Amino acid sequence: MESASRQAHWEKVYTTKGENEVSWFQQSPAPSFELIVQAGATHASAIIDIGGGASRLVDHLVEQGFADITVLDLSAAALEAARRRLESLADRVHWIVADATAWEPAKAYDIWHDRAAFHFLTDEKDRAAYVARLEQAVKAGGHAIIGTFALDGPEKCSGLPVARYDSAGLAQALGPGFRLVHTRRHEHATPWGSRQMFQFSVFRSEV
């Protein structure tokens, strides 16, 4: 999928649907937050949420005192929704509207978090572009936490095909620069009560 049509798709989603009208809505970002803490994040750690959309993870990180948070997403409308919700606290966050496969990182991060963005990259070329940014943007010894649909998860999300993973498949996709340190499965309940199986894997940058 070309970047422009990807962006048009997501802008339409976030301008036509409310927060809890999307399958990925999560009131509490507990699984992601726990893994960020487990990866050794301190309040001074630079944390980026890739494809963060309108997720409440950023609210939680700000509330808990994390001071260097960036949220990147293709959709300006998604980030605007999160900013509105955070009100004056939004100024404590760096917001980037960009395609994760084309963005040029301006700094390095201790923690790269991605819940349900990487799995939309079904072309090898796009995955390679994402991994190049990941390698560039994560500090040596830093961590990448990537949540995707598991092998027994749905084949589509938001009407788009996804690539499903287990930790071994994801490790292969990320390449030798990242060592798997932890993986867990997570069953997500959509706002309408259906179940979606995710995997979250944590990798340490070895480069």
Interface residues toward ligand SAM, by CB under 6 A: 6, 10, 24, 51-53, 55, 73-75, 78, 99-101, 115-117, 120, 157
Longest alpha-carbon distance in the chain: 42
State in angstroms the smallest separation of the CB of 56 from ligand SAM: 8
Q: How far apart are CA 180 and CA 33, in angstroms?
A: 18
State in angstroms the smallest separation of the CB of 21 from ligand SAM: 13
Q: Taking CB positions, which residue lies at the least distance from ligand SAM?
A: 53
- Rounded to 5 degrees, what are φ and ψ at 169? -65, -40
Q: Which residue has the tokens 């509490």?
A: 28
What DSSP state is assigned to residue 153? S
State in angstroms the smallest separation of the CB of 206 from ligand SAM: 24
Q: In whole angstroms, what separates CA 113 from the centre of its chain? A: 5
**Which C-beta is closer to ligand SAM: that of 152 or that of 206?**
152
**Which C-beta is closer to ligand SAM: that of 90 or that of 157?**
157
- Rounded to 5 degrees, what are φ and ψ at 173? -65, -35
**Which C-beta is closer to ligand SAM: that of 6 or that of 204?**
6
Q: How far apart are CA 43 and CA 23, in angstroms?
A: 30
State in angstroms the smallest separation of the CB of 32 from ligand SAM: 8
**Which C-beta is closer to ligand SAM: that of 39 or that of 71?**
71
